[in-house]
């Protein structure tokens, strides 16, 4: 199938623009997620300091959740943002 050159140029331009919009959107999402995870970590640390442990939510549980879930997610998001900076 033969395309006219003008249409082909437009298609290439549109496809790269949609890719850039996706990258910009993901960047914004990850930056917001890092902020929200930081707030969640602060809440967990407050619970460690202020509340006594219960049967299902001990202080070790809160520390473990911070280490395993939140810090890991922040690290992945920061790596993504670093990769995004290096490609631009």
In the chain, domain spans: 27-87
Which pLDDT score is estimated for 12?
Answer: 45
DSSP state of 78: H
When pLDDT is cut at 50, 70 and 90, the band that residue 38 belongs to is: very high
> Please, where are the H alpha helices in 1-88?
5-50, 59-65, 71-87
State if pTM tops 0.85: no
The answer on pLDDT for 30 being more than 60 is yes
- What six digits make up the tokens of 15? 């496809």
Which residue from 87, 78, 64, 83 is spatially nearest to 35, judged by alpha carbons?
78
pLDDT (0 to 100) of residue 19: 60
pLDDT digits (tens, 9 = 90+) for 57-76: 788 888 888 888 888 889 98
The answer to whether 36 and 73 have CB atoms below 8 angstroms apart is: no
pLDDT for residue 51 is more than 60:
yes
Q: Is residue 8 pLDDT above 60, yes or no?
A: no
For residues 84 and 23, the answer to whether their CB atoms sit within 8 Å is yes
């Amino acid at each position: 199938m033969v395309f006219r050159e003008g249409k082909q140029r437009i298609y290439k331009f549109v496809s790269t623009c949609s890719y850039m919009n996706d990258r910009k959107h993901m960047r914004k999402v990850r930056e917001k997620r890092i902020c929200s995870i930081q707030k969640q970590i602060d809440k967990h640390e407050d619970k460690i300091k202020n509340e006594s442990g219960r049967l299902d939510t001990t202080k070790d549980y809160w520390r473990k959740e911070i280490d395993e879930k939140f810090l890991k997610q922040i690290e992945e998001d920061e790596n993504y943002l670093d990769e995004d900076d290096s490609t631009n």
